[in-house]
Every structure is written in structure tokens, then in C-alpha cells.
Structure 1
Amino acid sequence: MNNPGTHAHHLDDVRILDLFAGPGGLDVAAHFLGFKSLGIEWDRNACETRYAAGLPTIHADVSVMRETRFDEIPKSVDVLAGGPPCQSFSVAGNGAGRRALDTVEKFIHRLVDGEGEAGIDEDLHSLGDPRTALVLEPLRWLIKAIETEGRNPYKVIVLEQVPEVLPLWEVYAKLLRGGEGRLAGVKYEAECWKLKTEQFGVPQTRTRAVLVARLPGEGAIEPIEATHLPFDLNRGKRSAAQADMFSTDFTISGVKQQWISMAEALDTASKLKDSPVDASRLRTGSEMKFFIVSNYGSGGDPKKRGRRQSSEPAFTVTGKISRNKIYKSLDDHEADRFHRFTIPESGVLQSFPHNFPWSGNDQAQQVGNAVPPRLGMHVLSRALRGDNPSDAELTASSTWPSVSRATTEELRRLGCGDQGQCPPESHKISPLRRKSAP
């Protein structure tokens, strides 16, 4: 990072280090909870979004940053957070990570037991998909903090991934509780869960594996309390009597709960000041009524596309959300087709603020790769404060504060500097994309 004196104010009092930060899902959550964060992200396009949003960022490879630039991380950081890339573990990927779960578990133990990292790295390269190895990075960052003079172990660790990674988070949790080997007597309270995003007010169905670890002294880690009902994925296969059991109109703990539909989320966003979300194109008369056909197959059949009505949550928002087709009616597919979801609309379905300043290229991929901020608010609030986010905080999270161009330029210089320490080739733009570059 260049000119530390000029840009130090952006890093003052930073508490959260967000590895694999993407466009800022966890950082957006931290902002609305009142915590400052610093993200490390290698993708130039995601960094452009972060700079435009006013989020302090280092444009770097997480592994390289740990190995050669660890001293640049502010000593005020006491929370380690992140969601390593999920493609090799996801059911939408090629499955290399799922097949390697047992192997990766062995690597975790090898790291903690003190085996030389050069040999571990060499073996990791044989896994096929190099992204699989990145799930080890949070552990390596913790070990680095423990073994670096003048640094302290992180007080809190928050990790999220696709649900297939839960067995690895459980291995993490067991080792963090044990405090042995290179963890050298540093013991954490640690818990992990599978969380459904629609149960936390995100207008889409998406399941995530989450780990929360905390140094002793703050009490046991309580489960993260869902605020909404789960969406019944098998609703079309149930009898009428069974369907009644899954009605959204009943009470949990004395509070009426209901998942948020696409129509509700988009309609609410469209009514906010200067909103880029145009709900009028999704309306038939005064009613917002449409359905979407997924780009992915359903039930193991790649040709059988799933459907969701506007009165239901969206499918999992992925980098291919712009390929989902939106229709007015079930009867006339082609004649009544709307345009695809816009980037602001896709962001709203991920629970980003309606006016979040998506920038750079590959914006749909940025949206799909992000942690849903509203889920992040619940996880971080539980980990750092032991409670749920307040209604006021959740309400405020619908709108992102404006950021001056001067601040964006400062953050770009902070993150990229002379570009000499950025990932190789990351600032080169092909002639075909140069016109749309920021």
C-alpha cells in the first residue's frame, strides 16, 4: 500500500479483515452494524465496485498477502472473516472439492501439526482445482497471527461457504476448541451451522455453511436466530393437507414470520429515493406478477428448468442470474417475456442496497459470488455482539450512502498503488472490453 500517511484514515480502527472479500457482502453487513472492515480481493472488477462503495480494499492475492505483506494489515484487526471461493465445492461446479474433502481434512491436520508448508503446498497443487486449497487460507492466517511477534490471535473468526464444506468447518471447530500444535494453547469457543438465507430476510433460497469462533470470555456462542420461515422447496409435491402444514401464516415464538418474496423486495426497492430498480416493467396493471425460469436444471434433469413465481423467493442468485428468463404468464412464454433481471435488481435479490454502486466488468458474477449482506448482518451481529441486528439497522441496510469520487480515487490508490503488487495481468483489459472499463 502506497502513501500510508495520506490514506491511514481509511484504515483507522479497522476491526474486521475480510479475506476473499468480493464486492463486499460481509463488509456491507459490517458497515450497517457500525464496524470498520478491510477486504482483500484479487479480482479487479470486484475491487472497482468496492472502491466505488467506499470500502477499504487491498487488491492482492490472499496467499501472497499472507506470505509477503502481512505487516500491512492494521494491528487493530481482531476479527478474521471470509468466504473462500466455492466453485470446486459447489454442486454447480465440477465436484473436485467434494471429492477431495477427506484429503483437505488431512491437509488441515498437517498444517496444525507443524509440517513444512512447502511440502503441503506441493501436494495441494495435485488436487486438480487450485481453488480447493483456498479453504485452508483462514487457518493459515490464524497461524500467521499466532506466530508473528507483536500480533495477537484473532478474537473472533467468521467463515462461510457452500453447505458441502460444513464437514471441514466442523474439523476447524474441533481444532480451534483444542488449541494444540501450531495453535499453541489458543482455544476458542466454536460452533457451525447450515443457514438458509430466506430465514433471515434475504429474498432468495440459498443455504450456507457458517462457522463462528470466539476466544473465551464472552460466553457460549448461541445459535443464530432465524427471523423468517423456511421456504418449502417441495411445495409442488405435497398434498393439500401437507401444504397447510407449511403455510407461511403462523407464529414462531409469538412473532408472525414470512419469507420475503421477489415481488416484495423489488417493489420496496423501487419506491426508494433515486432507485435504479424499475418495478413498473414487472407489473401487469397495478400488480407485480411474473415468474422466472431458472438457467439450471431441476431434479437432476438439466433440461427441466425450475420455476418460481414473483410471490416466492428467488432461486439462489449465481453469476448466471442474467440468464434466468422472466415471463408474465405461464401460458405464453415468448410473447410475454420481460427483459432479464438487471444488475441492481439482482443485487436486491442478494439483499444488497438498491443503490449499491456496482462497477467494473462481470457484474453479474460479482453479484452471484457475494455473501448476502442481510445474512452477514445476522452472523456478524451474533459473533461480535451476541445479538440480532436491530430493526433500525436492517431498515437502514436498504440504502447505501453516497461516496465521493475523491474517496473512490483514494481507495483505488490505497488498494492498487502503482499496480506493482496487484495480481499479475489483473489490470490489463482486452480490446473487446476496453470500452466498458471504468
Structure 2
Amino acid sequence: MSQNLRPSTSRPTCIDLFAGCGGMTAGFVTAGFEPIAAVEWDLAAASTYAANFGETHTIWGDIEEVVKTHEFPDADVVIGGPPCQGFSNLGSKNVDDPRNKLWKQYLHVVEQVQPKAFVVENVARFSTTSEFAMLLEEAKYGRISNYELSWGVLLAADYGVAQRRARTIVIGSRIGPMGLPQSTHARDASRGLRPWETVRSRIAGLPRFPDTTSLPSSTVQFFGQSVPGAFKGMDLHVGRQPRPLSLERYDHIPPGGGRFNLPDELRPACWRNKPTGTTDVMGRMRWDAPSLTIRTEFFKPEKGQYLHPQWDSEDLENRVNRPITHLEAARLQDFQDDFLWCGTKIQLARQIGNAVPVGLAQAIADGITRHL
């Protein structure tokens, strides 16, 4: 059955496809936009989105089915990040991965809605893929030929996010040239820009050692389903119970260090036999620098540079030997503490790691607003 959702708002409006928990929407809302439709197939992520931006305009479902049954409302901007696993450096890099084709569903909605502008967000290497080349062909000769494209790889740290996360951003406009946002921050604060934000600016002051390993026991109802939540702030400051061997390994890692700082007897065979690469594995953050990319398994130091930055070379008692918590990861993704989250710990970690940093999304939205 066709469903037509019509907005009644004086603010610029946006539709979020592949919305996840709503990181992109959060940035656009901060910039003054009103979300009027969103699509997300994962129940926990869709519930998080609905908890923050409203359930009535949120569609929980597979976008391939949604585009067959829903007529989307008129909107000023369509935003979204089609799944990127097939493009990711950590993925299979398979151009035929069916997840890489979902951007075509995104274009179907753009073609139907005819927004003034649209934004596609994806991993950095998306801009080097055959799928991206096909997207450019669609802009030249296909369904979005009435749009002028601007694209590039943006570093979130250059827009006030305390994270060195590189993402491909494509902006399409049918109301004249609309370039990418100008950087507001820089590593060396050159050209009058502000210095990069740091890990310290986001997580300093939180309890060093969480007093629980569990989320509160509560549930909420969204889409007629019961999901864990809604959680916020210190609810997400949950720890883990590392093995003694893991704690011993953590204790050898200084800020900015990683697996190469471990003595041979503490290195598993797979690391001893791999003398190069994966330099961020078992890494410790630096207080006075942005973090590296926050991925979906930030709670596992063996997956990246996720150890808490506190480490004193002389005072053994002044070390925090644990991975960052969900709250710390969310802050490094620029989510406010009053943002509501739904799902299990694993589901929340996936939502946090997959999100567009809110500050980067806001910078993009601010630039679009000036053209609108």
C-alpha cells in the first residue's frame, strides 16, 4: 500500500536514507533542518533514530521494498550513506558485493523527490571504485543529469570533530554550484583555522574506571517491537572484564603506541609473524590529538587504537588500562550526552561506529543552507 507523508514546516527539510542511528540527521537538525522521512532496516538503529527524531516519519524496513510501497514527501535535501562494507579497506573490496548496489536505491528516491540538493556519504575509497564511476555517469547522462556534482574526501578533524575519520562526500545540486564545506580546523592551525579538537576535549573528566559492565535493564517500544533502551549519558559508560594477559599487554602500550611496543613473549604468533602493517592494532590514544577512526568494535583493542589515553611512564598507578567505553566512543563521534540509544551493547557499538560524525554532518548542512 502506498504511503505519502507530507511535511508542514517552514524550516528546510531533509530525508535520510540508510539513516542508521541518525548521525547525519543530528548534524542537519543542528544546522536548522527538519527531518520528514527516514529509512533504516536495522531495528535497533531505527529505534535509536525514532527515539531522537520521531517515530511517525521513520520507516523501519529494507529500502528495496520501501521504494516500491512509499511515496516520499517533497524535501529540500536527501541525505544518506549507503552501506559501505564492500568498499571498506576492512571489507572484501568486491565490486559485485550486493551492498555496493544500494546507492542505486538512493538515486531512485532522489529521482522521485527531486530535492534541491542531495548528499551521499561513504568510506574514503568509495571515490576510487567502479561504482563511483557509475555514479558520475548517472550525473552525466542518467537519472540525476539535472544535478551538478561536487565531491571529495573530507577529514572529520578538519571540521571540529576529535577524530581523524576520512569520508567521501558527494553533494549534488540542481540550484547552481554547491561546493564542499571549507575546513574550519587544521593540524597546525594554519591559515587562521582553529587547531584540531582532541581526545582530551571530549572524554576528559569521565570516571577512569566504569563501575559496571552492563547497560541498565530497561526496554522501550518502537514499531510495535520491544528493544533495550532508551539509554543516554552515563548509562553508556560501561566497561569490560579483560583477561590478566590482556591487562599485561595494555600496560606496555604508551600513548600513540601499539602492538610493536609489546615484548615478544606477549605477542601472539600472528603478530610475531607479521612484522609490518596494522600499526594501530592494540593502540593507545593520545590525549592531545584526535582519535583515529572509531569503528564498530572500538571495545576491542586488538581491532585498533582504542585504549584509553591515560598512561604514565613512571607512575604505574596512573595508568588506565582499558578500551574506551560506549560513551567515550559516542563523544568522539560528536554525539551529545542527551542523545538516546536503543539496543544491546553490541548493537550500540555498531550504531556508533557506523555513524557519520555529527560535526562533519553539520558542516555539510551549514554549507548547503547558505545555498538554499
Please give the TM-score of this superposition, normalised by the length of structure 2.
0.71
Mark the CA change 1:293 to 1:251 in structure 2 (over 3 Å): closer, same or farther: closer
Shift of the alpha carbon at 1:300?
A: 1.9
Cα distance in structure 2, aligned partners of 1:48 and 1:373: 18
Q: 1:220 and 2:174 equivalent?
A: no
Mark the CA change 1:191 to 1:307 in structure 2 (over 3 Å): closer, same or farther: same
Q: Which residue of 1 aligns with 2:355?
A: 370
Cα distance in structure 2, aligned partners of 1:257 and 1:41: 35
Task: Give runs of aligned pairs for residues 162-311 of structure 1, distance below 5 A.
Answer: 162-167=123-128, 168-169=131-132, 171-173=134-136, 175-176=138-139, 178=140, 180-183=141-144, 186-216=145-175, 219-230=176-187, 248=188, 250-252=189-191, 255-267=192-204, 276=234, 291=255, 300-301=277-278, 305-311=282-288
Shift of the alpha carbon at 1:303?
A: 8.9
Q: 1:326 and 2:311 equivalent?
A: no
Cα distance in structure 1, aligned partners of 2:27 and 2:78: 14
Mark the CA change 1:382 to 1:264 in structure 2 (over 3 Å): closer, same or farther: same
Q: Which residue of 2 aligns with 1:345?
A: 328
Task: Give runs of aligned pairs for residues 51-200 of structure 1, distance below 5 A.
Answer: 51-55=50-54, 56-67=57-68, 69-71=69-71, 73-74=72-73, 76-96=74-94, 100=95, 127=96, 129-143=97-111, 145=112, 153-167=114-128, 168-169=131-132, 171-173=134-136, 175-176=138-139, 178=140, 180-183=141-144, 186-200=145-159
Runs (5+) with no aligned partner, structure 1: 101-126, 146-151, 231-247, 282-289, 388-438
Aligned residues: 305
Mark the CA change 1:191 to 1:181 in structure 2 (over 3 Å): closer, same or farther: closer
Shift of the alpha carbon at 1:80?
A: 1.6
3-state DSSP class of the match of 2:195?
A: coil
Would you tell me which structure has more helix in proportion to its own residues?
1
Q: Which residue of 2 aligns with 1:12?
A: 8
Q: Which residue of 2 aligns with 1:238?
A: none
3-state DSSP class of the match of 1:166?
A: helix
Please tell me the residue identity of whatever aligns with 1:300. G
Shift of the alpha carbon at 1:23?
A: 0.2
Mark the CA change 1:182 to 1:87 in structure 2 (over 3 Å): closer, same or farther: closer
Q: Which residue of 2 aligns with 1:410?
A: none
The farther-off stretch of 295-304 and 190-199 is 295-304
Cα distance in structure 2, aligned partners of 1:309 and 1:370: 22
Is contact 1:203–1:313 with CA below 8 Å preserved after alignment?
yes
Cα distance in structure 2, aligned partners of 1:373 and 1:381: 12
Please tell me the residue identity of whatever aligns with 1:266. I
Task: Give runs of aligned pairs for residues 404-423 of structure 1, distance below 5 A.
Answer: none
Shift of the alpha carbon at 1:36?
A: 1.1
3-state DSSP class of the match of 1:311?
A: coil
Runs (5+) with no aligned partner, structure 2: 208-231, 240-253, 261-270, 301-305
Shift of the alpha carbon at 1:198?
A: 0.5
Cα distance in structure 2, aligned partners of 1:221 and 1:373: 20
Q: Which residue of 2 aligns with 1:33?
A: 31
Is contact 1:166–1:209 with CA below 8 Å preserved after alignment?
yes
Please tell me the residue identity of whatever aligns with 1:131. R
3-state DSSP class of the match of 2:168?
A: strand
Please tell me the residue identity of whatever aligns with 1:52. A
Q: State the Cα deviation string for residues 65-113 of structure 1 (Å, max 9, x = none).
A: 112x222x22x323221101111111112222xxx2xxxxxxxxxxxxx
What is the root-mean-square deviation in Å for CA atoms of aligned residues?
Answer: 3.5
Please tell me the residue identity of whatever aligns with 2:8. D
Shift of the alpha carbon at 1:163?
A: 1.1
Is contact 2:258–2:280 with CA below 8 Å preserved after alignment?
no
Mark the CA change 1:305 to 1:268 in structure 2 (over 3 Å): closer, same or farther: closer
Mark the CA change 1:174 to 1:380 in structure 2 (over 3 Å): closer, same or farther: farther
3-state DSSP class of the match of 1:172?
A: helix
Please tell me the residue identity of whatever aligns with 2:77. V
Cα distance in structure 2, aligned partners of 1:328 and 1:215: 49
